[in-house]
């Protein structure tokens, strides 16, 4: 798989500042002097598979190669990274395009279940026309041991080093990966919580990082689509800094995904597997 990025000359003047953010002035309601704040960038990324438009997602303009791979896997468009043959990124300013070449099997399956999706930062199921597509049949994970509690000690503080955009401007979510030694390896950020996880999945695939014994961490609330993306990627443990929804919990338990909530002021809460099923 090769990513080819093509940006027109005109976009050079409109390219986002380092860290996908720009500074803007604001004034206080009380008449206080103007000041400057750094705000996160977002762009519209249109994704087409084998020439057929599939989705328009609002994303942070960083790590877009990772996002294309992770979105394709996490959304079930391809079953494995081997079905992504090539892709090209192009665009200008706030409008970007991704042309993705996928295997014939994946493309025919996509056309059979094709739906128009309009991505937003709030809902990862926008545009799904049938309940069967929102609640697909996914493989049950083989199950993995829970991570040692020590791995999560001070995690909220440690992830700051992997959130440069969040530290700089706010308004973004992060997804991170911890290896089988409890070491944070990499993180990805985006205005969309599901986009951040897609980017992380894509980065893990593109860098051939082993998932065995590892832990994915999301800073956002944990709802169903994040569970589905983790299952499709083969991630065995998911830690969320915000509470899971009931449906997310039910899916995690029924699919052998370790689901842990890390509250801000209390100890980690293991929701899956069910405590009564633990030895």
Query: In whole angstroms, what separates CA 161 from the centre of its chain?
Result: 18
Q: Please indicate whether residue 123 is annotated as part of the active site.
A: yes
Total residues found in the chain within this entry: 279
The two three-digit tokens of residue 145, written as one number:
């041991």
The two three-digit tokens of residue 158, written as one number:
């440690």
> Are residues 160 and 184 in contact, defined by beta-carbon separation less than 8 angstroms?
no
Say how far apart CA 180 and CA 202 lie, in whole Å: 19
User: Of 118, 119, 77, whose CA–CA distance to 101 is shortest?
Assistant: 77
> Are residues 163 and 171 in contact, defined by beta-carbon separation less than 8 angstroms?
no
Say how far apart CA 6 and CA 134 lie, in whole Å: 34
Choosing from 92, 123, 126, 222, which is the catalytic residue?
A: 123
Coil, helix or strand at residue 149: helix
The residues annotated with a catalytic role in the active site are 123
């Amino acid at each position: 798989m090769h990513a080819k990025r093509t940006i027109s000359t005109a976009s050079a003047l409109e390219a986002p500042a380092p860290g996908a953010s720009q500074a803007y002035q604001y004034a206080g309601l009380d008449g206080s002097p103007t000041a400057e704040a750094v705000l996160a960038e977002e762009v519209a990324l249109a994704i087409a598979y084998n020439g057929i438009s599939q989705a328009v997602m609002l994303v942070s303009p960083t790590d877009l190669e990772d996002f294309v791979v992770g979105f394709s896997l996490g959304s079930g468009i391809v079953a494995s990274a081997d079905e992504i043959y090539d892709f090209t990124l192009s665009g200008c300013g706030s409008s970007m395009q991704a042309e993705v070449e996928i295997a014939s099997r994946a493309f025919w399956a996509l056309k059979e279940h094709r739906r128009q999706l309009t991505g937003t930062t709030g809902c990862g199921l926008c545009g799904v026309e049938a309940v069967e597509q929102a609640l697909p049949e996914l493989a049950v994970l083989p199950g993995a041991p829970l991570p040692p509690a020590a791995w999560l000690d001070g995690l909220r503080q440690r992830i700051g080093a992997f959130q440069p955009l969040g530290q700089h401007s706010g308004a973004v979510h992060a997804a991170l990966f911890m290896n089988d030694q409890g070491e944070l390896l990499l993180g990805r950020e985006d205005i969309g919580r599901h986009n951040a996880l897609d980017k992380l999945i894509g980065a893990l695939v593109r860098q051939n990082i082993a998932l065995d014994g590892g832990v994915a961490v999301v800073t956002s609330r944990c709802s169903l689509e994040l569970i589905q993306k983790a299952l499709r990627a083969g991630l065995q443990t998911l830690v969320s800094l915000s509470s899971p929804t009931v449906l997310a919990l039910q899916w995690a338990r029924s699919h052998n995904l370790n689901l842990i909530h890390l509250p801000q002021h209390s100890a980690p809460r293991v929701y899956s597997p069910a405590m009564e099923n633990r030895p």
